[in-house]
Amino acid sequence: MFKFRQDFIRFAVQQKVLCFGEFQTKAGRLSPYFFNAGLFNDGASLRSLSQFYAQAILASGISFDMLFGPAYKGIPLVAGTAIALAEQGRNVPYCYNRKEAKDHGEGGTTVGAKLQGKVLIIDDVISAGTSVRESIELISSAGAEPCGVVIALDRMERGQGELSAVQEVQHNYNIPVVSIATLEDLLGYLQDEEELVQNLHATQLYRDKYGVTL
């Protein structure tokens, strides 16, 4: 297991992006933890988050030519990740989409580099998979090739069927989904943290009830 996975979980807890308690998910489930990537909302935390994205991308071995960030959450993520990759010696172009097409100036539905080659999508999480589907359609219609998705945390839980949202994306579009960390990484972290170990049992029960088999 890559060390950055545990480091990311620790970082998310310190930033209070990852919290423990009782939270209701969109599916109506009571989850013992909550992850809100929108709380990486200052310069220092965004810089660190982007470095974690870059590490996960480089560790994955996925071949890509450029990055794409779905509006709106993906915009700072894709820009920050491009910077972090450049600092690691991998300088690649990036772009993001507009929610509405612009009919003046440069026009179009995307901002930044032209979509071409193998395009890696940068997002925070995959819930219903809507932003990923829209991104894939946009990239494909431009004549480029969606080659994968990178997210911060994979909750590893079932959607409407037996597959998780991440597995559905992999199955439906035949592309890999890479996460900085997963629910398994969170369980491993909780085992080693005395101050948080009381959350381990509830999180494991949630995993047992709603989790997917990899």
- Is position 102 annotated as part of the catalytic site? yes
Q: Rounded CA gap, 127 and 160, in Å?
A: 11
Beta-bridged to residue 177, according to DSSP, are 149
Q: Which of 99, 102, 114, 209 is catalytic?
A: 102
The count of other CB atoms within 10 Å of the CB of residue 74 is 21
- Is position 104 annotated as part of the catalytic site? yes
Q: Which of 3, 16, 99, 104 is catalytic?
A: 104
Q: Rounded CA gap, 45 and 5, in Å?
A: 16
CA distances (Å), 22 to each of 75, 111, 122, 206, in order? 30, 39, 28, 11
Strand 66-69 relative to strand 94-102: parallel, antiparallel, unpaired? parallel
Q: Where are any strands of DSSP class E within the chain? A: 18-24, 30-35, 66-69, 94-102, 108-112, 118-122, 145-154, 177-182
On whether the CB atoms of residues 171 and 146 are closer than 8 A, the answer is: no
Q: Rounded CA gap, 206 and 155, in Å?
A: 11
DSSP 126-140: -SSSHHHHHHHHHHH
The catalytic residues are 102, 104
